Structure 1
Amino acid sequence: MGTTLCFSLILLITVTDSFFEANSITFWQDTEALREFKNGLDPNSVRPGSCLSSWDFTLDPCDNLFSDKFTCGFRCDLVISTMSRVTELALDQAGYVGSLASTSWNLLPYLHTLDLSNNFFAGSIPDSLSNLTRLQRLSLSRNSLSGSVPNSIGSLSTLEELYLDNNYFQGTIPLSINGLKNLKRLELQGNRLRGQFPDLSQLTNLSFLDASDNSISGELPANLPTSLVELSMRNNQLKGNIPANISNLFYLQVIDLSHNNITGSIPSGLFTHPSLQQLTLSYNDFESVQEPGDSSQESELIAVDLSSNMIRGFIPPFMGRMRKLSALSLENNRFSDVIPTQLTLKAVLPGQGVSQLERLLLGGNYLFGAIPVQLLKMRDPGSVTVRLGDNCLYRCPLRFFFCQGGKQKSLMECKRLGHVLP
């Protein structure tokens, strides 16, 4: 029995191998797309020894990949493209049974990855790039490419990763990107993109989005892909409020919207989010923080940076009850009143099951009163960073590391905003 089965398996493999007539010619549209991409670049930017300088289209790209003619830049995969007839195969206990027709298959190499990052290539992206119909990863990062991001890029329906960061792309982000249904990662940071950010909520697989360091204006889209894990749009010109439904992005772990012009109140839902770990909203124009209530104890937040805004009033007490919070920066706002005891206890004597507050940055506000007694017991920094300089505190002697030389605001400056000091 064992011998029969072994023979059947060998026969099946041998017969199966005979199905395929391997075709080594790269899919013609892929070859043309590579050719036009190279021809569209400034030839002076294609340095000797670079990937593009080795592309010689007198030869087949995929069939000569990593030779001296096509040294690098892309990866090919074999794909079954045609089958002339259907063949039926069967196995029974006695071995191979059935008929085998004269069947012809074509195995065409298609481009799977195009990676030309970390060069100094100049020029624009040709529309022909959309002919790379089976491309899954496109990386043109850190070049000197310019012009607009073509609408035709939305035709790359199999694309999973798109890296266009750190170039000189201009214009608006095309809405056609919604055609990239399989896209998981989109990096557009470090360009000159402008205009309102499009609604990309149709990208239901997108987990990483970075459009930082551009000139994107308007409001943050009310609808973002619900699959997002990380959202970064720092250093743009965003304005308006944060949409309240951003807390409905249940998988979100990182938000960085720093260095924009966002106003209004910070939604309470961000502090009770089921998965959010890092919240960076510094250098905006926020004026207040919405209180989430007792549910803040279940917050997953580890780091919160609300520095350099215009937030007034008391430091919200709930921040001292966030069990996993270990870094809090509220510097350079307009917080007043005394320093909450809950925050200082979290930095000095956290309770059981509570993370220690390793960074407590409160400088540049209008906090007044005496330094909490818990902090006075800290004679050296140790593993905790505390900054209280440039406030309205009563005596902050030089010997305490967190006083930063004892400099506090003048009495006139402390009264300037109408704060009542004891």
Structure 2
Amino acid sequence: MPDPFLLLRLSAISLLFLTSLVDSLTLSSDIAALKAFKASINPATIQPFACLGSWNFSTDPCANPRRVHFTCGVNCDDTPAAGPSRVTQITLDPAGYSGTLSPEVGKLTRLTVLDLSNNYFFGPIPSSLSSLSNLQTLVLHSNSFSGAVPASLCNLKSLQSLDLSRNSLSGPLPRYLSSLIGLRRLDLSFNRLTGSLPRLPPNLLELALKANSLSGSLYKSSFDGLTQLEVVELSDNSLSGTVEGWFFLLQSLQQVDLANNTLARVEIWSPGKFNGDLVAVDLGFNRIEGNIPANFSAYPSLSSLSLRYNRLRGPIPWEFGKKESLKRLFLDGNYLNGTPPQGLFSSETSVSGSLGDNCLQSCPVSSQLCLKSQKPLSICRQAYGGKPRS
């Protein structure tokens, strides 16, 4: 008959063995980094029902099932090949956390996702994030981070999505952004960034830098090799000079928003065989002079065009009236003259938008395109140095 005391001792040894397994489930440096992360946040902003409220280090962060502690906010590798588990994701809920981002996060070297969006984090973005060589997604939007965009972030070769929008970041963009060879989406909108565009990451799909204080012209060197770029959002900056013809010939370009800058001129070249994907262009509220480029109509998929409130003159190109893909056209607030193309008013084209506040003649009052009245004759005569030509 088995010795009951022997069984009791074996059970105790087994329990100690299992306890040691649980204690060593997550790498100790990862646990220390998570503790530092939580400690850098004002405890008064950590509600019991929030993700961080469940971070109780009396249990292992990577232990399963997570019924009481670490119920959300942290993911781990489920089946580590060898050794202890590692933290792979930190995705916080938008629960109003306020605090700084601890530099200790840089020790979570298996991290692939760091998402702290829609909270109240402040202070600088720590340069130690450059140690996260596996990081694919960095989302810090809608916080109060300040200071420069760390140049060290350019070391993150695995990064695919970088969203630092709606913070208080300032200074120029990092010079070596182009070294982010895996980056597909970059959003730094609604900050206080200055200077001109550096050379951009070569595999970028989406570029959003609207509502900053960027200046200078759009240089071809910034966009060299970007054959996959589909979306460019640079509105509400201080960009100036000429938008040259090469820009609209970027191979995959579909949507362009350059509104609310100080651009003075735009060149439009006819698209080639591989440059016909352009769908929407917004160049409104700039200082663009000259005639409307008729070559806009040569882009087969162009559906929406805004050139409103610039300094354009002359007639609306007749080609616009024959363009079946065009559905939205905003040309109001210029000094356009002559008679608008009749095709814009056809029931078959269904073009919406505005041609008002110009110097046009015979804009049909029955059309919603002409609802905004034209400029007074005296202003039009002054703009053209006499009676505007029809």
TM-score, length of structure 1 as denominator length:
0.83
Q: 1:362 aligns with which of 331, 350, 361?
A: 331
Amino acid of the residue matched to residue 81 of structure 2? I
Mapped to 2, the partners of 1:382 and 1:345 lie a distance apart of: 9
Aligned equivalent of 1:4: none
Mapped to 2, the partners of 1:293 and 1:383 lie a distance apart of: 25
Aligned equivalent of 1:332: 309
Label 1:71 to 1:376 Cα distance change in 2 as closer, same or farther (>3 A): closer
Shift of 1:376: 4.4
Mapped to 2, the partners of 1:394 and 1:334 lie a distance apart of: 18
Q: How does 1:177-256 map to 2 (within 5 A)?
A: 177-199=153-175, 200-221=177-198, 223-245=199-221, 246=223, 248-256=225-233
Q: Is 1:278 the counterpart of 2:258 in the alignment? A: no
Aligned equivalent of 1:120: 96
TM-score, length of structure 2 as denominator length:
0.89
Aligned equivalent of 1:48: 48
Contact 2:205/2:228 (CA < 8 Å) preserved in 1? yes
Mapped to 2, the partners of 1:317 and 1:117 lie a distance apart of: 49
Shift of 1:181: 1.1
Instruction: Give the match's secondary structure for 2:86.
Output: strand
Shift of 1:268: 1.1
Mapped to 1, the partners of 2:385 and 2:113 lie a distance apart of: 56
Q: Root-mean-square deviation (CA), in Å?
A: 1.9
Mapped to 1, the partners of 2:167 and 2:334 lie a distance apart of: 35
Q: 1:411 aligns with which of 372, 377, 389?
A: 377
Amino acid of the residue matched to residue 147 of structure 2? G
Contact 1:297/1:322 (CA < 8 Å) preserved in 2? no
Contact 2:251/2:274 (CA < 8 Å) preserved in 1? no
Shift of 1:274: 1.3
Label 1:419 to 1:115 Cα distance change in 2 as closer, same or farther (>3 A): farther
Amino acid of the residue matched to residue 286 of structure 1? L
Label 1:376 to 1:210 Cα distance change in 2 as closer, same or farther (>3 A): closer
Aligned equivalent of 2:70: 70
Aligned equivalent of 1:89: none
Contact 1:212/1:234 (CA < 8 Å) preserved in 2? yes
Larger displacement relative to structure 2 (297-306 or 360-369) = 297-306
Amino acid of the residue matched to residue 26 of structure 1? T
Aligned equivalent of 1:398: 365
Aligned equivalent of 1:111: 87
Shift of 1:418: 4.1
Mapped to 2, the partners of 1:297 and 1:29 lie a distance apart of: 51
Q: How does 1:12-91 map to 2 (within 5 A)?
A: 25-64=25-64, 66-77=66-77, 78-81=79-82
How many residue pairs match? The answer is 365
Q: Is 1:344 the counterpart of 2:321 in the alignment? A: yes
Aligned equivalent of 1:157: 133
Question: Deviation string for 1:193-220 (max 9, x for gaps)?
Answer: 0000112111100010000000101111
Question: Deviation string for 1:339-367 (max 9, x for gaps)?
Answer: 11101111xxx3xxxxx101111111111
Contact 1:241/1:262 (CA < 8 Å) preserved in 2? yes
Label 1:361 to 1:320 Cα distance change in 2 as closer, same or farther (>3 A): same
Label 1:43 to 1:160 Cα distance change in 2 as closer, same or farther (>3 A): same
Mapped to 1, the partners of 2:275 and 2:109 lie a distance apart of: 46
Label 1:169 to 1:419 Cα distance change in 2 as closer, same or farther (>3 A): farther
Mapped to 1, the partners of 2:378 and 2:185 lie a distance apart of: 48
Larger displacement relative to structure 2 (291-300 or 266-275) = 291-300
Shift of 1:412: 2.6
Q: 1:320 aligns with which of 286, 292, 297?
A: 297
Label 1:296 to 1:306 Cα distance change in 2 as closer, same or farther (>3 A): farther
Shift of 1:293: 4.2
Mapped to 1, the partners of 2:33 and 2:304 lie a distance apart of: 49
Mapped to 2, the partners of 1:204 and 1:419 lie a distance apart of: 53
Aligned equivalent of 1:91: none
Mapped to 2, the partners of 1:30 and 1:297 lie a distance apart of: 48
Contact 1:141/1:164 (CA < 8 Å) preserved in 2? yes
Q: 2:356 aligns with which of 360, 365, 389?
A: 389
Mapped to 1, the partners of 2:294 and 2:116 lie a distance apart of: 47
Label 1:325 to 1:60 Cα distance change in 2 as closer, same or farther (>3 A): same
Mapped to 2, the partners of 1:247 and 1:359 lie a distance apart of: 31
Label 1:376 to 1:121 Cα distance change in 2 as closer, same or farther (>3 A): closer
Q: Mark the runs of 5 or more structure 2 residues left unpaired by the alignment.
A: 1-19
Q: Mark the runs of 5 or more structure 1 residues left unpaired by the alignment.
A: 1-20, 82-105, 351-355
Label 1:124 to 1:116 Cα distance change in 2 as closer, same or farther (>3 A): same
Percentage of matched positions with identical amino acids: 38
Contact 1:226/1:249 (CA < 8 Å) preserved in 2? yes
Contact 1:186/1:210 (CA < 8 Å) preserved in 2? yes
Shift of 1:411: 2.1
Mapped to 2, the partners of 1:334 and 1:67 lie a distance apart of: 64
Q: 1:371 aligns with which of 316, 319, 340?
A: 340
Instruction: Give the match's secondary structure for 1:62.
Output: coil
